Amino acid sequence: MTDTNGPLIIIGGHEDKEGDRAILAEVARRVAGGRLVIATVASRKPEGYFDAYREAMAPLGVTDLVELYLDSRDDAFDPAQGVLIEGATGVFFSGGDQQRIADMIRGTPVEQQLRRLRARGGVIAGTSAGASMMGTTMMVGGASEQSHRIGDLRMTEGLGLIQGVIIDQHFAERGRIGRLLGAVAAHPEAIGIGIDEDTAIVVEDGGFSVIGDGAVTIVDASGASLPDRGASGTLSIRDVRLHLLSEGNVFDLAGRIVDPRAAAA
């Protein structure tokens, strides 16, 4: 279900940058003294992002940082950009618009460089839009703080660094359970993963563990009823399995079960 390569660190946005920085410390640990590329591609106005991460990462021992920005898709074919990733042990995607990441990178040499980085054990991290784009299928748009109305959600292709999941972010803070249920109702073969702010999943070896302050909500519609729309157009679906995970929990993606290690112990 996942590649057997370097880890992914998928962050729900607003990771702490001034306090204990638990999530960025995990990124630093995985970068292991190497170079970290800060990819600000998600934003049309990337000014400030790179400096913020440089300041936040320095006390964590990550001092070799470079920025990857693409003004246009053409830039992703510029060999100079690929070189940035070639020399790195990690890439961190900052927030913005997940569609912009996919538009700039899918099918370009930069995407190939990302896959090569992982194949040699490098880490790819992403926060907010940088989290959503990790999946094969990603949400763009979709309302917050309302129950899902059928037809309200647009799904497109992400970078596919992790298969079989649909990721949402700023999850509890923006009241997004409605749209994630809408997404898995339309794609019941995918596991819905909603990640709170200052919370992350570390994906490796076919599963993930949770770190950070909030929760990770899993919605599994593989055994659910066919979705249905009421007279109001609002989604109706029954028998969705829901798990709420917090720091230290482990989820097995293939088995769709929580804490197989704990259960085996």
Catalytic positions: 128, 170, 197
- Cα angle, residue 127 at apex, residues 144 and 237 outer, rounded to 5°: 35
Q: Is 117 helix (H, G, I), strand (E, B) or coil?
A: helix
Return the H-helix or E-strand segment holding 115: helix 109-119
Quickly tell me which residue has 């930069």 as its tokens: 110
Asked if 265 is part of the footprint of its own copies (rule: CB under 8 A), the reply reads: no
Q: Which residue among 31, 155, 172, 190 contacts its own copies (CB under 8 A)?
A: 172
Minimum CB separation of residue 201 from its own copies in Å reads 13
Helix axes 109-119, 98-105, angle to 10 degrees: 100
Sequence-distant (6+) residues with CB within 8 A of 117 are 6, 85, 88, 89, 90, 91, 124
Asked if 112 is part of the footprint of its own copies (rule: CB under 8 A), the reply reads: no
In this structure, the number of other CB atoms found within 10 A of the CB of residue 125 comes to 29
> Considering beta carbons, is residue 26 or 213 the nearer one to its own copies?
213
* Structure tokens, 230: 């009421």
Of residues 198-217, which lie at the interface with its own copies (CB under 8 A)? 210, 212-215, 217
Asked if 245 is part of the footprint of its own copies (rule: CB under 8 A), the reply reads: yes
Asked if 168 is part of the footprint of its own copies (rule: CB under 8 A), the reply reads: no
Minimum CB separation of residue 29 from its own copies in Å reads 17
Asked if 14 is part of the footprint of its own copies (rule: CB under 8 A), the reply reads: no
Q: Which residue among 18, 80, 232, 265 contacts its own copies (CB under 8 A)?
A: 232
Asked if 243 is part of the footprint of its own copies (rule: CB under 8 A), the reply reads: yes
Q: How many residues does the chain have?
A: 265
Q: Is 79 helix (H, G, I), strand (E, B) or coil?
A: helix
Size of the site for its own copies (CB under 8 A): 45
Strands 191-195 and 216-220: antiparallel
Of residues 128-157, which lie at the interface with its own copies (CB under 8 A)? 144-148
First to last CA, the chain: 24
**Which one of the spans 63-71, 81-89, 129-137, 236-244 is the region binding its own copies (CB under 8 A)?**
236-244
Q: Which residue among 70, 133, 166, 237 contacts its own copies (CB under 8 A)?
A: 237
Asked if 242 is part of the footprint of its own copies (rule: CB under 8 A), the reply reads: yes
- Site residues, its own copies (CB under 8 A): 144-148, 171-175, 177-178, 181, 196, 210, 212-215, 217, 219, 225, 228-232, 234-249, 258-259
